[in-house]
Amino acid sequence: MNIFVAFAAAGFAAAVISGCTPAAQASDPAKIEQTIRAQEAAWLADYQKKDLEGLAGQYADDAAMAGPGEALATSEGQRRKSLQGLISDPNFKLDFASDRVLVAKSGDLATSRGHYTLTMTDKATNKPATGTGSYLTVYQKQADGSWKAVEDFITPGPAPAAS
């Protein structure tokens, strides 16, 4: 799992370094950050409503997503199957929030790193189990101006320290 996060971070770093174009000067990082934060609020609402169409719509056609112990989902069908598995669990509950949004100078890529709390049915005990961890999502601006996730990875870990 960590190797996927490393690849996503390396790709983002390369994009930031190469973002020295005239378009980069025209981007508004603060506005893009606000857009990403608003999109994540809508994404969380889609999870809370268990809205598969809304959740699937957050991803670009070629996006990849994975969670601990899950296979990398790189097609729409694979992503939908993974998302459906989450939201169909009767004990499913998710809360997440971004701790940091970075915007590439090019204005066409952004990352959101944050923390989550997830409750699911433990397959061994058949009882609700709650876990915490971190996520990293890489967003890419689409031709229509919208932002879609192109990489979305979570990793379990301790809850973040209070700030």
Of residues 9 and 79, the one with the higher pLDDT is: 79
pTM (2 decimals)? 0.81
Tokens of 5: 């996060």
Tell me, what's the pLDDT at 27?
Answer: 84
pLDDT digits (tens, 9 = 90+) for 90-141: 999 999 999 999 999 999 999 999 999 999 999 999 999 999 999 999 999 9
Tell me, what's the pLDDT at 65?
Answer: 97
Q: Is the pLDDT of residue 25 over 60?
A: no
User: What is the percentage of the chain residues whose pLDDT exceeds 70?
Assistant: 82
Domains of the chain: 2-20+27-156 (3.10.450.50)
Of residues 38 and 161, the one with the higher pLDDT is: 38
- Distance separating alpha carbons of residues 43 and 116, to the nearest angstrom: 13
The answer to whether 131 and 157 have CB atoms below 8 angstroms apart is: no
Listed in sequence order, the DSSP H helices in the chain are: 2-17, 22-26, 29-49, 52-56, 76-87
